[in-house]
Chains A and B, each alone.
Chain A
Amino acid sequence: DAGVIQSPRHEVTEMGQEVTLRCKPISGHDYLFWYRQTMMRGLELLIYFNNNVPIDDSGMPEDRFSAKMPNASFSTLKIQPSEPRDSAVYFCASSLGGPQYFGPGTRLLVL
């Protein structure tokens, strides 16, 4: 079975540009989570969805970040405009309400 799929795996962009990260959850999972990992703060939950509806977005750092889940098999995390401090690894995870299963992550570098 395919696990959580994320794209792109690596992204290098310049400050001010729009960045879109994509996630395909495990088929049948009804929860989807977006995380950011940095050396200083570890794993931070940004937002999570249940049945495509955002449940908790309290971790979204500011209005430059937005996330959507238009259907059960796709979600995006958008940063506009991007800043150097957004450089991190972004993970997507999905679950059936129990353990969360993570994708390989997107390593974002904003210059």
Chain B
Amino acid sequence: DQQVKQNSPSLSVQEGRISILNCDYTNSMFDYFLWYKKYPAEGPTFLISISSIKDKNEDGRFTVFLNKSAKHLSLHIVPSQPGDSAVYFCAASTNAGNNRKLIWGLGTSLAVNP
């Protein structure tokens, strides 16, 4: 049972335009969400996170939006650059007690075309 779903396996965007990556979750107990980027032959790299007490978090070109009622989050990249081409993973957790287990989506492959 996939608790974190990234329904688009791939996305193609023109350089300079906005990239929007989506993620849905089913567990209402999740209270911490993260986005990671992964290049081939490397480990995932942390991009940005958001706690459930917020609905938006911004870091440079990257913004994450959280809609708790819809159990949906999205990552916006503006403007998109060719170097952003990678696989993007959404992850979620319930930071209760000592739990630090992340539940991962299967990823969305983003291609930014020059």
Contacts and interface: CB of A to CB of B under 8 A. Distances in A.
Q: Do A and B come from one complex?
A: yes
Interface residues of A, number: 22
Contacts of A100: 46, 100, 102
A28 B42 CA distance: 23
B106 to A, nearest CB: 5
Interface stretch (A13-21, A64-72, A79-87, A101-109): A101-109
A93 B100 contact: no
A56 B100 CA distance: 9
Interface in B39-63: 41-46, 49
Main secondary structure of the interface of B (DSSP, over half): loop
The contact size tier of chain B is 10 to 19
Contacts of B43: 4, 91, 93, 102-105
A61 interface: no
A87 to B, nearest CB: 16
A50 B43 CA distance: 21
Nearest to B104: A43
A55 interface: yes
25 contacts: A33-B100, A42-B104, A42-B105, A42-B106, A42-B107, A45-B102, A55-B99, A55-B100, A56-B101, A91-B43, A91-B44, A93-B43, A97-B95, A97-B100, A98-B49, A99-B46, A99-B49, A100-B46, A102-B43, A102-B44, A103-B43, A104-B41, A105-B41, A105-B42, A105-B43
